[in-house]
Amino acid sequence: MSKIRVKQEESLSIKFIHQMKVGDNRRLDLYFFLPKEMGIGPQSLNEEEYYHSAITGRRSYYSTGLHLPLVQSRFASQKKRTIEEFRLYLNLFAYQFSVAIENDSKELAQIEEPENFFNSLQDLCDLVSQLLKKFRRNEPSDPKWKSYFENADNYLSWFCEQRLLKLLSTAPRSSEYSVVLDSAIALCRAENEHRETKRYNSQQTKDDPNRISNKMLLLRRLIQQGVVLKEEMKTLGTGLKKMTTGFATAMVMLVVSALIIKAQGVFSGLTIALVLTLAVIYGFREIFKEDIRNALWRLIQKGRPKWSRILRDTNSHAPIAKQLVWLDFIKTIELPDKVAEILKRRHRQNKLDAEVLHYGIHTRVTQKEFLAGYTSIQEQVNFSLAPFARHLERGKAKIYKEQEGKISNDSVERRYQINLILAVKDGKDAVQYARYKITMNRSTIIDISQSELPEGIAAIE
């Protein structure tokens, strides 16, 4: 089973990453146990709105050796390949390189200890420098091929410089590591000089932050061509929802019609009493029509996937994978037995006092081989917890202490703990599990830690 990683992405977001190969059939479920004191539930958080606004994904081809300090040997054998193949391999390397630097720099930015930060920064600078040198040694001489190489080189040079400068702008202050700082700044200057020497960007573009930013976004999209998969999303149950609406309306009208007939039998002729009675009946119809429709739709949709997604190769348009997606609040009694056992053995109170938000995704990868050079596809899904944070209370409590007759106090922030249980099933293999604790407050995620599972429960490798 492929390793699945869950980690912090930004101050208020988490992500999971995994890879899938040809023919894989994987069901992945995440159960977020939200303490009821957070005030988050079906009444305060709309699942569909949360899905479209706070859950983002990126699915692309993936090749192993992402962080190895060498360029894949495919570049060394350019003459044996077509220009289309060269462009695909170039894009694959450039895209994975930029994603790796992006991920590493985000993780580095979360390190607060100066010694660990600057040691990691030095490692990152060495890796960037080495990769870029190896990459440029294989610059093609053919003008038709060279334009693709220059676009990738221009973007990677600028992107690495920007990520390093961003890290330096928030680096811990310490005079002990001036050598590392000078080394990082020298690398940034060298990359800027490299782009100047190659005349990649006009002076007008360099002088305008908007122009240079938009140009680099365009270059990134060009690099993603053939690597990032095209997604075709479809909302499921649209027709069924219309039928549910019609049925609910028919049921309400049946009751309303019966009440109207009954009222006409009670009141003889058109009287004020009859008019008032009809007004009350129609008023109740408007009040309960939506509630009945929503309750009926939730009952019918329960357990059904809400969206489907087809992933296609951007060049051949061939389908690479098909996915079904679930997102809904479920009751604790509806949890799978193993999930309930994990939660019960660790924290009984969470089972009783938590709302459960379930996210599921079922992926079937094509049986056909990918394009030459591609070994698997990688999926990265980000969950923003900002919609959760909006419901949280700010810490107002204080802790008092006495020392030598003087009383002082410290402000205490309000923290909340979300339990996350991850369940993965590959094909006919047994389901494997992982459990995480997410500690957060209103402004940031403080910690994400993985917890041990009870004996007898298979853990994700």
Q: What share of the chain is helix, strand, coil (3-state, %, to 5)?
A: 50, 25, 25
pLDDT of residue 351: 47
Residue with tokens 């899904």: 381
Residue 378 lies in a domain: yes
**pTM score of the predicted model:** 0.78
Identify the domain boundary among 207, 230, 253.
Answer: 230
Copy the structure tokens of residue 105. Answer: 């720099």
Residue 457 lies in a domain: no
- Judge if 276 and 317 occupy the same domain: no
- Judge if 190 and 226 occupy the same domain: yes
Residue 337 lies in a domain: yes
239-277: string of b/e by CB count within 10 Å (b at 16+)? eeeeebbeebeeebeeebeebbeebeeeeeeeeeebeeb
- Judge if 133 and 12 occupy the same domain: no
pLDDT of residue 275: 65
- Judge if 26 and 46 occupy the same domain: yes
- Judge if 295 and 310 occupy the same domain: no
Residue with tokens 């296609």: 312
pLDDT of residue 237: 62
C-alpha span between 196 and 178 (Å, rounded): 27
Copy the structure tokens of residue 461. Answer: 């490798």
- Judge if 108 and 47 occupy the same domain: no
pLDDT of residue 70: 37
Residue at 167: amino acid letter: L
Residue 251 lies in a domain: yes
Alpha-carbon Rg of the chain, whole angstroms?
29
The Cα-based distances of 87 to 60, 62, 78, 151, 427 in angstroms read 16, 15, 10, 11, 34
DSSP 201: S
DSSP 390: T
- Judge if 309 and 297 occupy the same domain: no
- Domain range spanning residue 255? 237-301
Residue 127 lies in a domain: yes
Identify the domain boundary among 174, 207, 230.
Answer: 230
Residue 458 lies in a domain: no
For the chain (461 residues), the mean pLDDT of every run of 10, in chain order, is: 76 89 92 90 88 91 54 48 75 86 86 87 90 85 84 94 91 82 92 92 90 92 87 78 69 69 62 67 67 69 85 87 93 88 64 82 90 80 90 76 81 85 91 91 87 81 70
What is the DSSP secondary-structure string of 318-349? -EEEEEEEEEEEE-GGGS-HHHHHHHHHH-HH
Determine the Cα angle at 17 with ends 16 and 22, to 5°: 135
- Judge if 250 and 357 occupy the same domain: no
Copy the structure tokens of residue 459. Answer: 């853990």
Identify the domain boundary among 203, 230, 257.
Answer: 230
Residue 320 lies in a domain: yes
pLDDT of residue 235: 84
- Judge if 412 and 429 occupy the same domain: yes
Give the number of domains in the chain.
3
For residue 442, the cross-strand partners are none
- Judge if 108 and 170 occupy the same domain: yes
- Are 72 and 62 within 8 A, CB to CB? no
Copy the structure tokens of residue 200. Answer: 């990649």
Residue 75 lies in a domain: yes
- Judge if 209 and 165 occupy the same domain: yes
- Judge if 117 and 185 occupy the same domain: yes
With CA atoms as reference, report the closest residue to 37 among 438, 277, 255, 355.
355
